[in-house]
Amino acid sequence: MNLATYARRNLFRRRGRTILTIMAVTLAVVIFCAIRTFIVAWNSGADEAAADRIATRHKVSITMQLPKHYIEELREIPGIKAATWANWFGAKDPKERLPFFAGLAVDHNSWFDVEDEMSVPPDQLAAWKETANGAILGDQLAKALEVQVGSRLVITSDIYPGDWEFKVVGIYTPRRKTVDRNTLVFRWDYLNNDSRAVYSKEHLGWMVSRITDSAQSADISRRIDAKFDSRDDQTLTMSERAFALSFLGGFAAVLTAFNWVSLVILLIMTLILANTLAMSVRERTHEYGVLRAIGFPPGHILGFILGESLLIALVGGVIGVGLVALVINHALGPAMEANMSGVFQHFFTPGWVLVVALGAAAVLGLVAGAVPAILASRLKITDALRRLG
Amino acid sequence: MVPFQYNARSLWVRKVTTLATAFGIALVVFVFAGALMLGDVSRVLAAAGRADTVIILRKGSDAELTSAIANDYLGLFRGPPQVSQAGGVIGEIVVVVIAEHADGSGSSNVLVRGTPPEGIAFRPEIKIISGRAPKPGTNEVIVGKAISGRFKGLSAGQSIDLRRNRPLQVVGEFTAGGASYESEVWGDLDYVRNALGREAVVSSARVRLNSSADFDAYRQIIETDKRYSMKVMRESDYYEKQSQQTAAFLKTLGLVVAILFSLAAMIGAAITMNGAVAHRSREIGTLRALGFSRRAILASFLIEAIVLAVVGGIIGSALVLVLSVLVSFPVINFQTFSEIVISFHATPAVFVKSLVFSGVMGLIGGLVPAIRAARVSPIEAMRA
């Protein structure tokens, strides 16, 4: 019999307790990963926005628009390869088949050149340029609205009164996983020529530019804003990611709260683990006295207890991480992507979350074991022997 | 029945274990109560709504932000006999502007409301708590208490630009009985809409009726009039609908997390109670030998588990109390993309629910150990 055997046998002396503790650690790790995955997924659409694209909006408000001629002036700025624009349409499905989707009036000549992760067949693109009321939809949105190329589509708007009728001329498919597949785009000139859009006549919502060198995006952004700084409508240029997030500025607090909550579960796990260790150590105090009496140094006692704690935490952590990899990444994630793609285009636990979770479990295992281990190793032999299990 | 003192003293003897477990449960209760209070955003929004007040939006719009009504209509809305002559009709313009957080942590949208001179009197709950009311026709604004100081430029004496060279000058701070108005900036209707280039347009109209029973008749008149194409809602219904999405989202998210957490806490309680049963099998055997029935032992250990958990619940409630005093939480109104700041409001109902929740955790966590305790054979236990 050696030390390892002793430690191993100790671990399963109270089998029920050890198993429950491992379960608690597993659960904590799973919850931690799930919350992190949620946060990552929420940001992911924005996270992977192309680095060479910047967006320019009205400086004061997302509801205020910019004069149409700004786009021509923007295109003259050095460093800008291509630029396009869009207006928010506030699209709604009159039959309410889906609660929310993005509807944009865009420039049909440049939109898909700039937003090139949406792939549209060339013949459909050509048809769009011929059809004034033509619309192109994401593949998932087309499915939800039950339309194909050639269908008639009627939608309503939060902003513009009445019914709006479009002819579906194309369906775009994503080139990357994080692209929203629930967007509808139609021609800006169609909106602009309609009398119902009198308040936004010859105005655009925001501009998106593709720049020649993504390293220069900060410089180019400053150049754009400087150009329009003396006008009545000043601009604010930022990365496309920041632009996407600016709509949900107030949501940041919820994510921060979740960040904290994910730490709370780790704290709960530590408490449970520490309690288990404290109970085990209390029961074995007499034995530790015996071990010390036959010549084991205090460091060994410390090692036993810390080792036991670390082992429980690691076993629980490995099971938890394994479950997360299996369940979220192979079952739940794909299901979320399929059913809630409006919110989560990419629901996946990244590797670093798994590593952090396992690392946290290990570190907290040591932390939880520390107090009982130190107390036990410092105990006087005579005191320890006097204690009965 | 085994005397309750036995349980209380048993818990006290094992102070460290008891506290570690109770504190774990306290953290779960804390998260649970936080989720309950977040769901409260509907209270904040709904507080602004009155049943005898009607809000009119352009048909198809769900929120003031996306609605637009020509100014000329306001006079027509005043026509029907149901309209209170004292309260009357007000038209307001609503816009969101981006503002930087005072602490440098990014920016959020803030709702700016341009209101006519009678707009403040229209809502008797508005109280100016510092500074003064804005002078009509000027660029002066007042800031709601919930956002005052949260954003750069939105404290008394400061200003933010609504457009180039059209600043809003903050002259005071107001409260609105806890309603979401407290997360808004209020200025002059004409100044705001001129700065936005939206002369002769309002976002919404509010109409005070003689009584809330007049609503159906008034709505009938406005909605069937072909000239308008308007949507007429009770103000209270409008705010409830506004908050539905946000409230449901926050509450669901929070409760799912709390319930998952409670699984961990229940395992913690089970470990502790299991330890207690194993440790005290001799005592249990003695109790049985003294004549206490299996059922009494079961009840005794269940009670101990529940007490353990409720101690946690009480600690958790104390943490919640701290939270409700110290923290106010900004959430987003999905209809306007603007920030509403809600304070955690610890009502007695929240505490009752938290304590019940902790008790249930104790009951479930303690069930298996209590059954084990009840099964202890007195003879074997005393021989051991």
Angle at B22 between CA B17 and CA B24, to 5 degrees: 100
| A27 in contact with chain B, both atoms CB, cutoff 8 A | yes
Contact between chains at B264 and A28 (C-beta distance less than 8 A):
yes
Residues 312-331, chain A, touching B (beta carbon < 8 A): none
The β-bridge partners of B339 are B332
Cβ–Cβ < 8 Å for B207, B53? yes
Q: Which of A259, A275, A371 to mutate to test the interface with B (most CBs of B within 10 A)?
A: A275
Name the residue of chain B whose CA is nearest to A268's CA: B24
A176 — phi, psi (to 5°)?
-130, 160
In A, residues 206-265, which contact B (CB 8 Å cutoff)?
230-234, 236, 246-254, 257-258, 261, 264-265
pLDDT of residue A343: 59
Q: Are B361 and B261 in contact (CB under 8 A)?
A: no
Q: What is the pLDDT of residue A70?
A: 93
Record: contact A161-B340, CB cut-off 8 A: no
**Partner residue opposite A27 with nearest CB, options B60, B263, B331:** B263
* Cβ-Cβ contacts under 8 Å, A159 against chain B: 61, 66
The pLDDT value given to residue B328: 74
A251 with A65: CB under 8 angstroms?
A: no
Q: Which two tokens stand for residue B249?
A: 């989202």
Confidence of residue A49 (pLDDT cuts 50, 70, 90): low
Q: Which residues lie closer than 8 Å to B223 by C-beta, 6 or more apart?
A: B230, B231, B232
What pLDDT does residue B37 have? Answer: 82
Q: Is A320 exposed, middle or buried (0-12, 13-18, 19+ CB in 10 A)?
A: buried
H/E element, A53: strand A53-58
Residue B211 has a pLDDT of 87
**Which one of A17, A43, A61 would you mutate to disrupt binding with B, by most B Cβ within 10 Å of its Cβ?**
A61
Angle at A281 between CA A280 and CA A285, to 5 degrees: 125
Tell whether A343 lies on the interface with B, counting CB pairs under 8 A.
Answer: no
Determine the average pLDDT of the residues in A112-124.
90
- For residue A57, the cross-strand partners are A236
Q: Where are the beta strands (DSSP E) in chain B?
A: 53-58, 69-70, 89-100, 107-115, 127-131, 140-144, 159-163, 166-175, 184-188, 201-202, 204-208, 230-234, 328-333, 338-343
Is the whole-model pTM more than 0.80? no
Cα B215 to its chain centre, rounded Å, is: 28
Residues 6+ apart with CB under 8 A from B161: A60, B167, B168
pLDDT of A238 > 60? The answer is: yes
Between A and B, how many residue pairs show a Cβ–Cβ distance under 8 A?
Answer: 162
Residue carrying structure tokens 């530590």:
A270
The pLDDT, as a whole number, for residue A355 is 93
What span, in angstroms and rounded, lies between the C-alpha atoms of A170 and A187?
Answer: 12
Task: State how far Cα A311 lies from the chain centre.
Answer: 31
Say which residue the tokens 């499905």 belong to: A93
The closest CB to that of B16, out of A24, A246, A278, belongs to A278
Residues of chain A in contact with residue B164, where contact means CB-CB under 8 angstroms, are 230-234
Q: What six digits make up the tokens of B228? A: 């308008």
pLDDT attached to residue B140? 94
CA–CA separation, B307 and B18 (whole Å): 10
Q: Verify whether the Cβ–Cβ distance A253 to B331 is below 8 Å.
A: yes
Amino acid letter for position A69: H
Half-sphere exposure of A359 (CA within 13 A, CB side): 6
Decide if B332 and A257 are in contact by the 8 Å CB cutoff.
no
Measure A103 CA to nearest chain B CA, in Å: 14
Q: Which residues of A260-272 are buried (b: 16+ CB within 10 A; e: fewer)?
A: ebbebbbebbbbb
Q: Tokens 């730490």, residue?
A: A263
| DSSP symbols for B281-295 | HHHHHHHHHTT--HH
Q: Which residue has the higher pLDDT, A27 or A243?
A: A27
Q: Which residues of B46-81 are buried (b: 16+ CB within 10 A; e: fewer)?
A: bbbbbebbbbbbbebbbbbbbbbbeeebbeebeebe
d(CA A181, CA A171): 10
Q: What's the confidence (pLDDT) of residue A249?
A: 58
R_g over Cα of chain B: 29
Phi-psi region of A354 (alpha: psi -120 to 50; beta: other; left: phi over 0): alpha
For B44, other C-beta atoms within 10 Å of its C-beta total 25
Measured between CA atoms, the residue of chain B closest to residue A372 is B16
A318 confidence band (pLDDT: 50, 70, 90): very high
pLDDT digits (tens, 9 = 90+) for A126-170: 999 999 999 999 998 999 899 999 999 999 988 888 899 999 999
- Which spans in chain A are helix H? 3-11, 15-47, 70-75, 111-114, 122-130, 139-144, 188-192, 217-227, 240-246, 252-293, 298-327, 333-339, 351-378, 381-386
Nearest-10 crossing angle of helices B294-326, B4-13: 60
Per-residue pLDDT of chain B (384 residues; tens, 9 = 90+): 888 888 888 888 888 888 889 999 999 999 888 888 877 766 666 777 788 899 999 887 888 888 888 888 888 888 888 888 877 899 999 988 888 888 877 778 889 999 999 999 899 889 999 999 999 999 999 999 988 888 888 888 888 888 777 889 999 999 988 788 888 999 999 999 888 878 888 999 999 998 888 899 999 888 888 777 888 999 888 888 877 777 777 778 888 888 888 999 999 999 999 888 888 888 899 999 898 999 999 999 999 999 999 999 999 999 988 887 777 777 777 667 677 777 777 788 889 999 999 999 999 999 999 999 999 888 888 776
Instruction: Write the pLDDT tens digit of every residue in A342-373.
Output: 556 677 888 889 999 999 999 999 999 998 89
Reduced to 3 states (helix: H, G, I; strand: E, B; else coil), residue B233 is strand
φ, ψ of residue A175 in degrees (nearest 5): -90, -20
Q: Quick one: tokens of A219? A: 């410089």
Distances (CA, A) of B127 to B82, B144, B298: 28, 10, 58
Q: CB atoms < 10 A from the CB of B226, how many?
A: 5
- Contact indicator for A268, A262 with CB cutoff of 8 Å: no
Give this complex's ipTM. Answer: 0.75
Query: DSSP letter string over A285-323?
Result: HHHHHHHHHTT--HHHHHHHHHHHHHHHHHHHHHHHHHH
**Partners of residue B62 in chain A, C-beta under 8 Å:** 158
Q: Which pLDDT value is given to residue B106?
A: 73
Identity of residue B184: E
Instruction: Tell which residue, A88, A112, A114, has the closest CA to residue A102.
Output: A88
Chain B closest-CA separation from residue A120 CA (Å): 31
Q: Which residue has the tokens 């085994």?
A: B2
pLDDT by residue (tens digit) across B307-365?
999 999 999 999 988 887 777 777 777 667 677 777 777 788 889 999 999 999 999 99
What is the pLDDT, as a whole number, of residue B334?
67
Nearest Cα residue to A58 out of B193, B63, B96 = B96
Query: Of the candidates B17, B201, B331, which has its C-beta nearest A254's C-beta?
Result: B331
B372 to chain A, closest Cα gap in Å: 12
Is residue A255 over pLDDT 90? no
